[in-house]
């Protein structure tokens, strides 16, 4: 299991990336704005689009924060 509570999965073939926080799937994000909104709803407020790309809380799988399509 990852030590990081936020997992951003590789892009799906149709676009978007699954977002999980502490093992719970929050949805499919299509860009950084979606990811920030999912995190806000999960109680991880205060992260904007720049901060989320640098945060040690996020584990990016299958590409970094600029990769949203397969």
Tell me, yes or no, whether 67 lies in a domain.
Answer: no
Q: What is the pLDDT of residue 10?
A: 98
Structure confidence at residue 62 (pLDDT): 96
Does 65 reside within a domain?
no
Q: What does pTM read for this prediction?
A: 0.90
Would 50 be classed as within a structural domain? yes
By residue range, what is the domain housing residue 14? 6-60
Asked if residue 16 is part of any domain, the answer here is: yes
pLDDT tens digit string along 13-58?
Answer: 999 999 999 999 999 999 999 999 999 999 988 889 999 999 999 9
- Count of domains for the chain: 1
Long-range contacts of 61-68 (CB under 8 A, 24+ apart): 61/7, 61/8, 61/9, 61/10, 62/9, 62/10, 62/11, 62/17, 63/10, 63/11, 65/8, 65/32, 67/11, 68/11, 68/15, 68/16, 68/17, 68/29, 68/30, 68/31
23 within domain boundaries: yes
The pLDDT score that the predictor gives to residue 70 is 85
């Amino acid at each position: 299991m990852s030590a990081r509570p936020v997992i951003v999965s590789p892009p799906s073939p149709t676009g978007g990336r699954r977002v999980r926080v502490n093992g719970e799937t929050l949805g499919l994000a299509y860009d950084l704005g979606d990811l920030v909104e999912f995190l806000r709803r999960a109680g991880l407020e205060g992260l904007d689009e720049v901060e989320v790309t640098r945060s040690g809380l996020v584990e990016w799988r299958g590409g970094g924060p600029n990769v949203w399509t397969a």
